[in-house]
Amino acid sequence: MNEERSGKNAVAEFDISLIEQVLAGDSEAFTRLVQSYSAYVYRTAFAFLHNESEAEDASQEIFLKVYRSIHGLKDVHLFPAWFKKVITSVCLDRIKTRKLDTVPDSEIESMIPSLPNPWDRRLELQEALNRLNLEEREIILLVDWQGYNYQEIATILKIPLGTVKSRIHAARLHLKRILLDDV
């Protein structure tokens, strides 16, 4: 499958035979995997890191981590969740260690008051997200950009499900307050 995967559901539409070939040690299959998912990985990393060079570096780190650890994957059907977790872990580690600002391209843009120029909407969202603390940005990115459900977020962040729910609620309220105050 040489088609580049770029949409939000790119990982959900993965090629089982490609993953099986990678698990069997086929280096050409791994090259095809990188080619197929590089755009998706880059866009996801950019959404977390909001920096082109950091997203490129993170993308390379993600594929290196995949290359080194994919053989631990016991069931090819678990690849999409495992792959998303690798992407998320690498990006969150970079955010935590470098304290980078993040901006997603997600459903939360609907919170922004209607502005005539889409660029203005993006800038307003970026400014609002930059005013959130790291914990709030992290939870918004996981739920609204990555599309993780609450239980998956609890597992990734190693926190109770109730804490996930309250953090999401609080982060969305805070973001909405910031956006409404700027109108």
Residues 91 and 9 in one domain: yes
This prediction has a pTM of 0.55
Q: In terms of domains, do 91 and 31 share one?
A: yes
Q: In percent, how much of the chain has pLDDT > 70?
A: 78
Domain count, the chain: 2
Report the pLDDT averaged over residues 155-160: 87
Is 151 exposed, middle or buried (CB count within 10 Å of its CB: 0-12, 13-18, 19+)? exposed
Considering the domain architecture, whether residues 89 and 111 belong to the same structural domain is answered as no
CA distances from 100 to 81, 97, 120, 154 (A): 25, 8, 21, 22
What does the pLDDT read at residue 116?
Answer: 54
* Res. 85: pLDDT tops 70: yes
Sorting pLDDT into bands at 50, 70 and 90, what band is 100?
A: very low
Quick one: 96 and 19 in the same domain?
yes
Residue 68 CB neighbours (<10 A): 9
pLDDT at 10 over 60: no
The answer to whether residues 25 and 10 belong to one domain is yes
DSSP 145: I
